[in-house]
Structure 1
C-alpha cells in the first residue's frame, strides 16, 4: 500500500479566493540537508510563486511560530535567512488575519494577502508539520 508523501506545509486560504501555500517539491539534489519548496500566493488580483529551500531548522522554526501564533502573537518566519519571508499578522487592516510574503533578496516584491482563517487552522498546521517532519526529516541528516 503506497503512502501519500506529505507535500503541503502551509495552506492558508479563504472563500474569497485568497491563499498562501508552501509546498515541498522534494529533496534538494545539491544539498543533502535541504528540501526544495515554493511559496505560492493566489488572489483574484495577483498571483505568484517563489523558490524556497527548507531545512530541519526552518521546519522547527515554523513549529515555534505556530506556538507563538497560538499565544496570540504575530510572527515572522524565515525573516533572518536568505530568500523569502512569511509574516502572519493575526489582526490585519481588514478585520481578518493577513499573510505578508516578502521576497526582498529575489524579486524585491512584498505581497499582503488578507485571509479569513478557520478557527482550527493552527491545529491543522501542527498536523501538517508533524506529518512532513515524520516523512522528510530522517532523509535530511547532513
Structure 2
C-alpha cells in the first residue's frame, strides 16, 4: 500500500466514535480474481470499544454513495445488509441533530453495537470527500 489508511466513514463527537478505516488492498484468488479493500470498523465509547475487520468490494463503495444520498435526504439507511460481514445502519434524529449508528455482525461475532453521535454541519461534505478519496486511492476496474 503506497498511502496510509483512509477513514471512509468517520462519525465522532461527545466521547463516542464509529470509524470505518480502509487499511489496504488485496487480490483474492479463486474461481474469479477479485480486488478487495481491507478495512476495520473501530468503535470507541466510554462504555465499549472494539474493532472488527471487513473486506470491501467496489460494489460496497457504490452502495455507500447511495446510502449517503439517502441519508442526506433525511432517510434512515442500512449499508451492506446483504453482505457477508458487518452491516451499518444509521438513523437521523433531526430534532437533536444526532445520528444513531448501529454496527451489526451476524457472521462472526454475533454482536450488535449502537452509538449516538452528533451530526456536524460539515459531515456530509466530509463524507463525500472521503468516498472520493477512496475511489482515487484504490480505483477499481468497474465504473462507479
Q: TM-score range by the shorter chain?
A: 0.7 to 0.9
Runs of 4+ residues over 2 Å off in structure 1: 3-6, 29-32, 138-141
The number of residues matched between the two structures is: 137
Distance in structure 2 (CA, Å) of the matches to 1:11 and 1:28:
23
**Corresponding residue to 1:40 among 39, 42, 64:** 42
What's the CA shift for 1:138? 4.0
Contact 1:36 1:54 in 2 (8 A): yes
**Corresponding residue to 2:79 among 77, 80, 88:** 77
What's the CA shift for 1:6? 5.7
Structure 2: runs of 5 or more not aligned: none
What's the CA shift for 1:8? 1.1
**Corresponding residue to 1:23 among 14, 18, 21:** 21
More contact order relative to length (CA 8 Å, sep ≥ 6)? 1
Name the TM-score, length of structure 1 as normaliser. 0.88
Contact 1:6 1:135 in 2 (8 A): no
Greater strand content: 2
What's the CA shift for 1:60? 0.6
Contact 1:77 1:85 in 2 (8 A): yes
Distance in structure 2 (CA, Å) of the matches to 1:40 and 1:82:
18
Distance in structure 2 (CA, Å) of the matches to 1:107 and 1:9:
22
Aligned to 1:7: 6
SS in 2 for 1:97: strand
Distance in structure 2 (CA, Å) of the matches to 1:103 and 1:84:
4
RMSD: 2.2
Structure 1: runs of 5 or more not aligned: none
Distance 1:95 1:130, change over 3 A: closer
